[in-house]
């Protein structure tokens, strides 16, 4: 099961990098969301998948056995979900404001602050 999830994590990362390198801001937003899900799945896979086992340590147990689930990846994933949702909401509002200001979602056409003509550099001082 973990090998299938590792392949899925690789596909998520590849898809998110492809979308992040796009010129359309909508694709970049989808890439950010996909990257967050890939990281969450990576943490989940790295924390070992134990099915039907609660993360509760029985009383009197001195050493951890294999029948105890690791609660740390679950806590990290919950925190990462909240952070990725907040980041996605911020980037969504930022993208909307940029679209309103420029009238396009193409990043190469959004370069309104850059000069269009070539500037001659000084040849000497």
Q: pLDDT of 83-116, one tens digit each?
A: 999 999 999 999 999 889 888 888 888 776 666 7
User: How confident is the model over 12-24, as a mean pLDDT?
Assistant: 93
Backbone angles phi and psi of 28, in degrees to 5: -65, -40
- Residue 113 domain-assigned (yes or no): no
Quote the tokens at residue 109: 């056409």
Q: pLDDT of 74-84, one tens digit each?
A: 888 899 999 99
Q: How many domains does the chain have?
A: 1
Domain encompassing residue 27 = 2-50+71-102
User: How confident is the model over 16-24, as a mean pLDDT?
Assistant: 93
- Residue 60 domain-assigned (yes or no): no
Quote the tokens at residue 52: 């039907």
- Residue 24 domain-assigned (yes or no): yes
CA distance 80 to 43: 10
């Amino acid at each position: 099961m973990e090998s299938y999830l590792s392949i899925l994590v690789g596909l998520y990362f590849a898809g998110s990098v492809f979308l992040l390198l796009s010129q359309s801001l909508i694709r970049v937003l989808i890439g950010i969301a996909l990257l967050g899900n890939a990281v969450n799945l990576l943490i989940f896979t790295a924390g070992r998948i134990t099915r039907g086992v609660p993360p509760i340590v029985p009383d009197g147990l001195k050493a951890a056995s294999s029948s105890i689930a690791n609660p740390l990846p679950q806590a990290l994933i919950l925190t990462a979900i909240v952070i990725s949702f907040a980041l996605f909401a911020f980037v969504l509002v930022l993208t909307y404001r940029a679209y309103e200001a420029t009238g396009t979602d193409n990043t190469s056409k959004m370069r309104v602050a850059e000069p269009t003509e070539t500037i001659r550099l000084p040849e000497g001082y």
